[in-house]
Amino acid sequence: MKFSAAIAAIFLAAPAHAGDWAPGFDIASLAAIEVPAAAAAKAGPKEGANYSGAEEVLIKEFGVDTIALDMPEAEVIRQSHFYDNAFCFEHALRLSLLALLEDYSSPTSPLARALREAGVQNSPSKSQLNKARQKVMALLNDGASLASLVRPYHQYQPLNGETVERNWIFFFRLDGESYWAVVDRAGEKPALVYGD
């Protein structure tokens, strides 16, 4: 039964004094009103013009669903086609996130900072490393955090001078700190992460 027909049936069953409504408002005009269906809710770290492949890697593979994104689809496509790439954008993002969560060789990486804040001085134990990773994951899942694909001659340029022409470069702002994940487009060097 249509929604409008259901309303009409209710009003037809109403008491007689219901006919004393304001002029121009009757059961027929009420039954003619169409109520639109509710729009489906969007899922993803950030609605808008972000590349859906970035959202899929973040959500499905890493469980990151609240970080703000600045990864426009047009820029992902441009960098995918304009530069020589040994692998796709999604794999580069995956490698950058793995570096964030596994690489503590640079003392300015988010994992190294989390280990230092936990009081770890030397090589961390598995337990200490897992706790530090959980902290970095919590920072990634913070709505105040940002993940951005670095564009040539645009904001968020890396401190060590790496270029977009030779690298996929991702900028992360976690807990007010700036980090860069640099992934060699040729796939000849391991991904690296450092902060300011």
Domain identity same for 66 and 29 = no
Residue 150's pLDDT band, with cuts at 50, 70 and 90, is very high
Domain identity same for 188 and 134 = yes
Is 45 a member of any domain? no
Q: What is the DSSP string of 31-75?
A: HTPPPPPPPPPP-SSS-SSB-HHHHHIIIIIH---S-EEE-BHHH
Which residues is 194 bridged to in the sheet? Answer: 180
71 contacts: CB under 8 Å, gap ≥ 6: 50, 51, 54, 147, 148, 149
Mean pLDDT of 63-89: 95
pLDDT tens column, 26-62: 566 545 555 554 443 333 344 556 889 999 999 999 9
Q: 3-class DSSP state for residue 141?
A: coil
Burial class (CB in 10 A: 0-12, 13-18, 19+), 22: exposed
pLDDT tens column, 105-116: 999 999 999 999
Is 142 a member of any domain? yes
Residue 121's pLDDT band, with cuts at 50, 70 and 90, is confident
pLDDT tens column, 154-173: 889 999 999 999 999 999 99
Provide the residue count of the chain. Answer: 196
Could you tell me if residue 117 is left (phi over 0), alpha (psi between -120 and 50 degrees) or otherwise beta?
A: alpha
Asked if residue 66 has pLDDT above 90, the reply is yes
Structurally, how many domains does the chain consist of? Answer: 2
Domain identity same for 90 and 183 = yes
Residue 174's pLDDT band, with cuts at 50, 70 and 90, is very high
